[in-house]
Amino acid sequence: MRFTKMHGLGNDYVYVNCFEEKVADPAGLARVISDRHRGVGGDGLILIAPSEIAHAKMSMFNADGSEAEMCGNGIRCVAKYTYDHKLTVAAGAFSVPGGRSFPASLRIETGNGVLTLGLTLDKADKVQQACVNMGRPILTPQDIPVNLTGEKVVDEPIEIAGQELSMTCVSMGNPHAVFFCDDVQAVELEKLGPAIEDHELFPNRINVHFAQVGSSTELTMRTWERGSGITMACGTGACATCVAAMLAGRAERTCTAHLPGGDLELNWCEQDNCVYMTGPAEEVFEGIWPDK
């Protein structure tokens, strides 16, 4: 089976072109191929397949084999692969309401519906960056889901691993809990991440983010991803953190998220209530995984 290693800001996955390949057990493959010592290594497995309603379909499996609804860094790489490898013909220009325009666009089917991406192309007609319309954030607890009542979960006190924390919860098609702190580097993410991910408040587990506000337009964050552990970047998490910062009165609708792997530009657009995320996508290498 031929595969391609790609990453968005170091959030790396193994990608399989299912226009040509077949994967009988994606959950099992995700567990072995993601192993950084005995496999290819990555935060998980992403399949790129034909779609009846979009240019391509993306299916994502975490390193532990669990299937996730979406991956913001992953979908940018799916768009790059789909365009660069000419799996389909791209659509026309794409514009952010009141913002920048992109010369080409793709629609990708995900577990969170069909999302549209605007593409930035280099002189060789390859995708350098992609801007994703990540859709409207989901804020009601039962829809995130979080086992709490009310209309929103904003600065909600919670005790985890003996620590008193304050959390804001957002779904970007997958669930996120955001915790603001004074020093994000001092957070014991290895300890707190898994304790929060598997807490009884979250029936589907949850992605965990600690964020430090530098200014009203800058956030620095670290992530524990559901099913994968500590990662260098999380696109949906950056979007959720932007929304959480705005809800909690800590940042503006347009901001830059500084992640260990690099920066993402975020815009929770007031005109349509959608979150737009812009960042790079890179292809690293190709290889052949032996049939077993």
- Identify whether residues 115 and 31 lie together within a single domain: yes
Whole-number mean pLDDT of the chain? Answer: 96
Q: Are 3 and 283 in contact (CB under 8 A)?
A: no
Determine the average pLDDT of the residues in 72-77.
97
Interhelix angle 72-84/235-247, rounded to 10 degrees, is 140
CATH code for position 156: 3.10.310.10
In 3-state terms, what secondary structure has residue 133? strand
Confidence of residue 161 (pLDDT cuts 50, 70, 90): confident
Residue 291 has pLDDT above 90, yes or no: no
Question: What pLDDT, on a 0 to 100 scale, did the predictor assign at position 292?
Answer: 62
Rounded Cα–Cα distance for residues 168 and 18 (Å): 37
Question: What pLDDT, on a 0 to 100 scale, did the predictor assign at position 196?
Answer: 97
In 3-state terms, what secondary structure has residue 27? helix
- Identify whether residues 157 and 232 lie together within a single domain: yes
Q: For 2-20, how does the pLDDT look when each residue is reduced to its tens digit (9 = 90+)?
A: 999 999 999 999 999 999 9
Residue 262 has pLDDT above 70, yes or no: yes
- Identify whether residues 29 and 83 lie together within a single domain: yes
- Identify whether residues 130 and 145 lie together within a single domain: no
Confidence of residue 209 (pLDDT cuts 50, 70, 90): very high
Length of the chain: 292
Looking at 77, 234, 239, 255, which residue is catalytic? 234
Q: Is residue 234 flagged as an active site residue?
A: yes
Q: For 106-119, how does the pLDDT look when each residue is reduced to its tens digit (9 = 90+)?
A: 999 999 999 999 99
Q: Is residue 71 flagged as an active site residue?
A: yes
- Identify whether residues 145 and 245 lie together within a single domain: yes
Question: What pLDDT, on a 0 to 100 scale, did the predictor assign at position 74?
Answer: 97
- Identify whether residues 183 and 249 lie together within a single domain: yes
- Which structure tokens are listed for 54? 């979009």
**With pLDDT > 90 as the criterion, what percentage of the chain qualifies?**
97
Question: What pLDDT, on a 0 to 100 scale, did the predictor assign at position 146?
Answer: 98
Rounded Cα–Cα distance for residues 108 and 91 (Å): 12
Residue range(s) defining the domain that contains residue 129: 2-135+279-288
In 3-state terms, what secondary structure has residue 237? helix
- Identify whether residues 284 and 255 lie together within a single domain: no
Q: Are 117 and 131 in contact (CB under 8 A)?
A: yes
**What's the structural domain count of the chain?**
2
Residue 140 has pLDDT above 90, yes or no: yes
Confidence of residue 60 (pLDDT cuts 50, 70, 90): very high
Residue 42 has pLDDT above 70, yes or no: yes
- Identify whether residues 157 and 229 lie together within a single domain: yes
- Identify whether residues 130 and 148 lie together within a single domain: no
pTM of the model: 0.94
